[in-house]
Amino acid sequence: MNALDIRTRNLGVNFNRDGHANVLLWAPKADLVEIFLLKDDSRIPLQKKKYGYWSLETNAIEPGDEYLFILNEKDRFPDPASLAQPSGVHGASEAIDIKSYKWTDIEWKNIPLKDYITYEVHVGTFTDEGTFAAMIEKLDYLADLGITAVEIMPVAQFSGERNWGYDGVFPFSVQNSYGGAHGLQQLVDACHNKGLAVILDVVYNHIGPEGNHLENFAPYFTDKYNTPWGNAINFDDAWCDGVREYFSDNAMMWFRDFHIDALRMDAIHAIKDFGPVHILQEIKQDTDMLAQQTGRSHHLIVELDLNDTRFINPSDKGGFGMDAQWIDEFHHALRVSSGQPKTGYYSDFDAITSLAKSYEDAYVYDGAYSDHRKKKFGMKASENTGQQFVVFSQNHDHVGNRMLGERTSQLISAEMQKLLAGAVMASPYLPMLFMGEEYGETNPFQYFVSHTDPELAEAVRKGRKKEFEAFHVEGEAPDPMAEETFTNSKLQWDLINKEPHETMLGYYKKLISIRKEQPALSVLNRKDLSVESDEKQQTIILHRQYKMQEVICFMNFSNEPREVTASIYAP
């Protein structure tokens, strides 16, 4: 197996220094592979290499050319490593010279992970235009807000023009309707010039339901494991090396060619890999090697629902070496504390008690029996640092998973919203906001798709409807296929100058600046922290300390005034 050359993109069509195209395709079971150029209907055969790879160097392909691969002289498919799908997921791929972008961020240096204050953005609904270009216009606003990192929900090409991003089917291709690869490069460049780091959300646990042509090329999937999306991506079965290289090549591309500072890897508990080197470990090794070569550092953040420190422990402790993980449990405890009924995944959580535990131990379930999961769940995370955990009072999932997609602004009082924001900012973990949260956006963030396959569209519609039948929720689930479900989810930027939004925005700014300025808050020392909680009074007193400085946060989740007393610990 060729080790990946991390200095350059390996797969797909890439242009070398001479301007020639290097073509590399993994198609281990094909007998003949050709590249078909739409501009002149020409076909050029690829040469068979070891381990199922096919390659070609040619000057017949130029940036902007559209192409398909022909397998065994009959079937034509777009490139699994396509950088652009100008006509969508069913159309031809477009060759792009990804290295041609002229970067202006030469001075940029990634922010240490401990200083990340993240702002999660869905490109399509962040602005009216729903593009990277329009997003650039808002960067001054974000810098002024005080956040330090922008997290972009997945941008891999999906079917249609409206999607959260988790239905992507071309992991290397940036959604054409957002502005494509160069559009993303411009956005990242602009972020860096405003002092903002960029986290990209990537999906390595499944491929979307429409426009997935991968299986025609190679065994990208295995029936050894079942996932919510069907067969698992093949990370450890026969032929897995090509699949592993595909995703490693992808991760390195974002860092190297798009200057992405950190990846947020989606639901990695659904990545099934029993091999001796977990794919995440391999990505970590490649990331470290790339950093050595470029001098730029990158963070690996994962969404993880296992409360298993193996994923975030260093490799010498048998871990996979991820830098940080999301902890939804903090969110659940916080939301129940704020009055969220204990239904569905909230049912496992007490209010104040669970929140206090999450402040102290990160994982609420660290070995106890979970009635929702029907098993003992989790393990202690006592050896892990505060910067290994990302917390939030809402995110795209917990807003969008509600039938009507309500943000907290529609569910709880302004004072309670402020309390949640404070609870997040005062935590010894990495805080994250969901776009619009900072000014109390009143529009929902609903579940929307725009599949072009009518059967799939209908199945999604029905599935969404069925999902909420069990809840006996009043009203009807918005139609995920309807364009208005998408437009209704857009931010309303005119709100930021109106009340009560302006006040809320000012509050968030202040809160963020306090977090940044007070070492007792910004130094993520889990040891110098103590929590006093009172479930009945619905109060928490959180002590954070750094050397001589102490910050005491009084949190009252009740609707009544409470009298509490706290001792001052710091000398």
Does position 374 interact with a second copy (CB under 8 A)? The reply is yes
Q: Give the nearer residue to a second copy in terms of CB position, either 11 or 268.
A: 268
Q: Give the nearer residue to a second copy in terms of CB position, either 41 or 316.
A: 316
CB of 6 to a second copy, least distance (A): 17
Find the radius of gyration of the CA atoms of the chain. Answer: 24
Contacts of 38 (CB under 8 A, 6+ apart): 65, 66, 67, 68, 92
Among 44, 60, 143, 277, contact with a second copy (rule: CB under 8 A): 277
Among 211, 33, 173, 14, residue whose Cα is nearest residue 95: 14
Among 276, 295, 475, 571, contact with a second copy (rule: CB under 8 A): 276
CB of 249 to a second copy, least distance (A): 16
The strand pairing partners of 448, in sequence order, are: none
CB of 376 to a second copy, least distance (A): 5
* 128 is a catalytic site residue: no
Site string for a second copy, 312-341 (x = CB under 8 A): -x--xxxx----------------------
CB of 236 to a second copy, least distance (A): 8
| Spatial distance between the Cα atoms of 13 and 66, rounded to a whole number of angstroms | 11
- Residues 345, 153, 199, 127: is their CA dihedral positive or negative? negative
Stretch that binds a second copy, among 55-63, 120-128, 170-178, 221-229 (CB under 8 A): 221-229
| Spatial distance between the Cα atoms of 21 and 371, rounded to a whole number of angstroms | 57
On the 0-12 / 13-18 / 19+ scale of CB atoms within 10 A, 158 is buried
**CB contact at 8 A, 132 and 187:** yes
Q: Among residues 286, 303, 328, 397, which one is catalytic?
A: 303
Q: Give the nearer residue to a second copy in terms of CB position, either 277 or 411.
A: 277
Among 176, 163, 154, residue whose Cα is nearest residue 82: 176
Q: Give the nearer residue to a second copy in terms of CB position, either 227 or 525.
A: 227
| Spatial distance between the Cα atoms of 420 and 555, rounded to a whole number of angstroms | 9
Q: Give the nearer residue to a second copy in terms of CB position, either 21 or 364.
A: 364
Enumerate residues 246-275 that contact a second copy by CB under 8 A: 269, 272, 274-275
Q: Give the nearer residue to a second copy in terms of CB position, either 367 or 463.
A: 367
Does position 224 interact with a second copy (CB under 8 A)? The reply is yes
The size of the interface with a second copy (CB under 8 A), counted in residues, is 35
Among 14, 159, 307, 354, contact with a second copy (rule: CB under 8 A): 307
Q: Give the nearer residue to a second copy in terms of CB position, either 216 or 227.
A: 227
Q: Give the nearer residue to a second copy in terms of CB position, either 241 or 534.
A: 241
Q: E strands along 361-464, which residues?
A: 369-370, 375-376, 389-392, 430-434
**CB contact at 8 A, 169 and 159:** yes
Enumerate residues 227-246 that contact a second copy by CB under 8 A: 236-241
Q: How many angstroms from the chain centroid is the CA of residue 170?
A: 16
CB of 523 to a second copy, least distance (A): 28
CB of 226 to a second copy, least distance (A): 6
Contacts of 335 (CB under 8 A, 6+ apart): 346, 393, 398, 420
* 441 is a catalytic site residue: no
**CB contact at 8 A, 213 and 78:** yes
**CB contact at 8 A, 543 and 568:** no
| Spatial distance between the Cα atoms of 113 and 153, rounded to a whole number of angstroms | 19
Among 17, 74, 102, 375, contact with a second copy (rule: CB under 8 A): 375
CB of 389 to a second copy, least distance (A): 16
Site string for a second copy, 420-459 (x = CB under 8 A): ----------------------------------------
Site string for a second copy, 45-84 (x = CB under 8 A): ------x---------------------------------
Q: Among residues 266, 273, 437, 441, which one is catalytic?
A: 266
CB of 357 to a second copy, least distance (A): 17
| Spatial distance between the Cα atoms of 470 and 256, rounded to a whole number of angstroms | 46
CB of 393 to a second copy, least distance (A): 27
> Crossing angle for the helix pair 352-361 and 328-337, nearest 10 degrees?
150
Does position 373 interact with a second copy (CB under 8 A)? The reply is yes
Among 60, 139, 379, 570, contact with a second copy (rule: CB under 8 A): 379
Q: Give the nearer residue to a second copy in terms of CB position, either 241 or 453.
A: 241
Stretch that binds a second copy, among 89-97, 163-171, 306-314, 523-531 (CB under 8 A): 306-314
Backbone angles phi, psi at 538, to 5 degrees: 60, 40
Q: Give the nearer residue to a second copy in terms of CB position, either 277 or 289.
A: 277
Return the HEC string of 12-25.
EEEECCCCCEEEEE
Angle at 305 between CA 304 and CA 308, to 5 degrees: 80
| Spatial distance between the Cα atoms of 116 and 431, rounded to a whole number of angstroms | 8
> Crossing angle for the helix pair 240-258 and 180-193, nearest 10 degrees?
50
CB of 71 to a second copy, least distance (A): 19
Contacting positions for a second copy (CB under 8 A):
1, 51, 223-226, 236-241, 269, 272, 274-277, 306-310, 313, 316-319, 369, 373-376, 378-379
Q: Catalogue the active-site residues.
A: 266, 303
